[in-house]
Structure 1
Amino acid sequence: MSGGPLDGIRVLEVAMYGFVPSAGAVLADWGADVVKVEHAVNGDPQRGLRQTGAFKVEGDPNPNIEHANRGKRSIGLDMARDEGREVLYELTRRSDVFLTSFLPSARRKFAIDVADIRAVNPRIVYARGSGLGPRGREADKGGYDMTAFWARAGTAASLTPAGVEGMIPPPGPAYGDTISGTNLAGGIAAALLKRERTGEAPVVDVSLLGSGVWALGHGIALSLHLDKPMVAPPLGAHGSPTNPLSGLYRTSDDRYLAFVMMQPGKFWADVCRHVDRPELAEDPRFATGADIAAHTEEAVKILREVIATRTLAEWSERFATLAGPWAPVQDSLQVGSDAQVRANEYLVRAGELELAANPVQFDVTAPQPGPAPEFAAQTEEILLELGLDWERILALKTAGAVS
């Protein structure tokens, strides 16, 4: 994004898969120059991910790699070779941020841990994303969003109703990865601000586990306070035993809409008008918020019958003027045609694909990301920027240090 708030900031990304690279993607959206270091032969293993559940991608571009790598440049580098590591250190000298997903043992093996990188560039912000955090006996264990974010941090169990075998899985690929990556990008931005103000460059840590705990933080706090876990409601339940305007209703085309009006007394009359039952606003059973709560079961029965008479599209048009909060229950394809999503440019074009924009906008302007780089596509360009001549570049290629 030209002219973004991080314009002029250089980020060196030594990371794989979805989590930490998605942080790099956000930083690139915000204007940073992000150089992605990939294995000189194999590249980021995410490039080989062509099957995600029911989705199979044939050919390029591949959304699995594009989502978390838009707007970057790629260099193929073998950090296990001395020559490759020297190139990495030269990139480090020119960078403001070192961003990595490597575990402690791998960071030590490749001499890219905090002390190694700070010895090369003392002012660099060192940012690491992990599965389970930087401390504790499991700090050297890896993790994916399914394990650390979804299952271990409580969301899966909180969503899975009693009697359902197994657990409700994440709603899509890299779900926790993307959320955690945005957290990491925010932490890096704050660290850059501290460096600007004090000259001190902090070490930034974000984990999938920590992000999962934060995402469920309200529920976890309630659980700890009341000493009981959150329990998912049974499937098919309305949603609230004391509020007919907080729950799900099925439409005539077997779709759903969700009411979330926390003050039913305030919105009841307006809902009655919008469903062509204005007389219900005068019904003594529903005269006050307390009356509505006491007669929730009757109100739900009435609203279910009424809302089942029209399609979701018809209700969506009719409820455009509804005062209280509500939403159509949309699938991932329908989100793409949502007028409000489009009006705010929450989907943006990056090369041949439309991708979800990172959720932060500056000056009411959507980011304009470029496509993800092909593997090692900018290797020569980046090496030339470091001041290497073609003779040296060819020697590095011959030695297998770069792609």
Structure 2
Amino acid sequence: MSPGPLDGIRVLEVAMYGFVPSAGAVLAEWGADVIKVEHAITGDPQRGLRQTGALKVEGDPNPNIEHANRGKRAIGLDMSKPEGLEVLLELAKRADVFLTSFLPGHRRKFGIDVDDIRAVNPKIVYARGSALGPRGMEAEKGGYDMTAFWCRAGTAATITPPGIEGMIGPPGPAYGDTISGTNLAGGIAAALLKRERTGEPSTVDVSLLGSGLWAMGHTIALTSHLNQLMVQPSPGVHGSPINPLVGVYETKDHRYISLVMMQPTKFWADVCRHVDREDLIDDPRFATSASIAEHTGDAVAILREVIATRTLPEWSERFATLAGPWAPVQDTLQAAGDAQVLANEYLVRAGDLDLVANPVQFDVAAPHTGPAPGFAEQTDEVLEELGLDWDRIIELKTAGAVT
């Protein structure tokens, strides 16, 4: 097994829930040694998450903790006790990255803010994940991906069609957390490169709000320039009003196919051949971009009728040679079994679970990963690496500083 690009990098993670821990998970899959610091008694509150919507997990493994904590080691530590903080600072001395989700007030309270950590390790990269960014009147406030990423940054309002009461929610748990965590991991990697080249450490900030805006960046640029909102069509509407090859079509088995061929004249003849309607190739209604735009309704009606005559597996076989981009509309179970997903090893084995790997591959290989640690599972191992003998470890446990 070849080492990852961050092999030898040590990350000290003092974080909870999904966002910042998912950054640590990405760094671990890139080869870093990530030590997860959890409260000595309560641990990461995410460990208690068993129910998300209608889905409930009984027993272990629990995907709600595994997804964002794969491949790490865990230590149970109470930073509010002087002995616990002493251990934390000893770990920080040996780390390349200090990664935290704690709010500014709590960082100051526990003595783990930038200046505190840099006092023991001047070259450490200090990385902070926040809800609303490090500046402004609300920098001290917390938040979740639902509030800061999904609602406040514009996705919820943009994805909800007119006439629907309320809003459409995120498609699943930790949606904005995971995207934002990958952003934070990338920022940390860039800061490590800067430190290697210049010797200067950085303070890295990524927020759920900033990540949500970035995800909507094209839309925000477009709507701000035109001073018009992007209005979502009602469900069931075909798609483009000027291009029959950009839209969704239902198959005989009530599945859906998405066609996205932005240049209709380039792909029209090929589509006609694949749906056994060669008679439409030279139809003057579909000869030019202008005529296709004018007669999109006719083309959509024809394609709806013909695509409804075969099942998705039948169309998938036929469309294997289709020149233009298309895709089956898949749920998460179908996506997890997709042959192309499996061929690229986008799912990796982590203990007893198959987890989606972080999306970056190096040297055309999937990352190697492991399961999330049990609560405080490597506490003794990590303390021994600090050079503490068993008498001192027992003292720390008796004092409640470590688990």
TM-score bin, normalised by smaller chain: over 0.9
Which residue of structure 2 aligns with residue 24 of structure 1? Answer: 24
Deviations 1:48-68 (A, max 9, x none): 000011211000000010000
How big is the shift at 1:231?
A: 1.2
Q: Percent identity?
A: 79
Which residue of structure 1 aligns with residue 116 of structure 2? Answer: 116
The alignment partner of 2:281 has SS state of helix
The alignment partner of 2:396 has SS state of helix
Residues of 2 paired with 1:358 and 1:40: CA distance?
29
TM-score by length of 1: 0.99
Counterpart residue identity of residue 327, structure 2: A
Which residue of structure 1 aligns with residue 164 of structure 2? Answer: 164
Matched-pair contact (CA < 8 Å) for 1:127–1:203 = yes
How big is the shift at 1:122?
A: 0.4
Which residue of structure 2 aligns with residue 15 of structure 1? Answer: 15
User: What are the within-5 Å matches in structure 2 for residues 275-294 of structure 1?
Assistant: 275-294=275-294
User: What are the within-5 Å matches in structure 2 for residues 2-401 of structure 1?
Assistant: 3-401=3-401
Moved over 4 A (4+): none
Structure 1: unaligned runs, 5 residues or longer:
none
Deviations 1:333-374 (A, max 9, x none): 101110000000001110000000000000000001010000
Residues of 1 paired with 2:103 and 2:231: CA distance?
34
How big is the shift at 1:394?
A: 0.1
Residues of 1 paired with 2:230 and 2:289: CA distance?
26
The alignment partner of 1:282 has SS state of coil
Residues of 2 paired with 1:27 and 1:393: CA distance?
29
The alignment partner of 1:168 has SS state of coil
Residues of 2 paired with 1:390 and 1:76: CA distance?
16
Deviations 1:133-169 (A, max 9, x none): 0000011111111110001100111000001111111
How big is the shift at 1:293?
A: 1.3
The alignment partner of 1:354 has SS state of strand
How big is the shift at 1:287?
A: 1.2
Counterpart residue identity of residue 56, structure 1: K
Residues of 2 paired with 1:13 and 1:201: CA distance?
17
Residues of 2 paired with 1:338 and 1:362: CA distance?
22
Residues of 1 paired with 2:219 and 2:75: CA distance?
43
Counterpart residue identity of residue 176, structure 1: G
TM-score by length of 2: 0.99
Residues of 1 paired with 2:138 and 2:193: CA distance?
31
How big is the shift at 1:132?
A: 0.5
Counterpart residue identity of residue 3, structure 2: G
Residues of 1 paired with 2:150 and 2:251: CA distance?
31
Residues of 2 paired with 1:310 and 1:144: CA distance?
44
The alignment partner of 2:332 has SS state of coil
Deviations 1:92-124 (A, max 9, x none): 000000000000000001010001111110000
How big is the shift at 1:289?
A: 2.1
The alignment partner of 1:237 has SS state of coil
The alignment partner of 1:61 has SS state of coil
The alignment partner of 2:315 has SS state of helix
How big is the shift at 1:2?
A: 5.5
The alignment partner of 2:395 has SS state of helix
Residues of 2 paired with 1:289 and 1:342: CA distance?
38
The alignment covers a number of residue pairs equal to 403
Counterpart residue identity of residue 53, structure 2: G
Residues of 2 paired with 1:390 and 1:165: CA distance?
61
Counterpart residue identity of residue 37, structure 2: V
The alignment partner of 2:368 has SS state of coil
Residues of 2 paired with 1:87 and 1:112: CA distance?
12
The alignment partner of 2:373 has SS state of coil
Pairwise CA RMSD:
0.7
Matched-pair contact (CA < 8 Å) for 1:246–1:261 = yes
Deviations 1:71-99 (A, max 9, x none): 00000000000000000000000000000
Residues of 2 paired with 1:228 and 1:120: CA distance?
52
Structure 2: unaligned runs, 5 residues or longer:
none
Counterpart residue identity of residue 101, structure 2: S
Residues of 2 paired with 1:220 and 1:45: CA distance?
34
Matched-pair contact (CA < 8 Å) for 1:2–1:31 = no
Counterpart residue identity of residue 243, structure 1: N
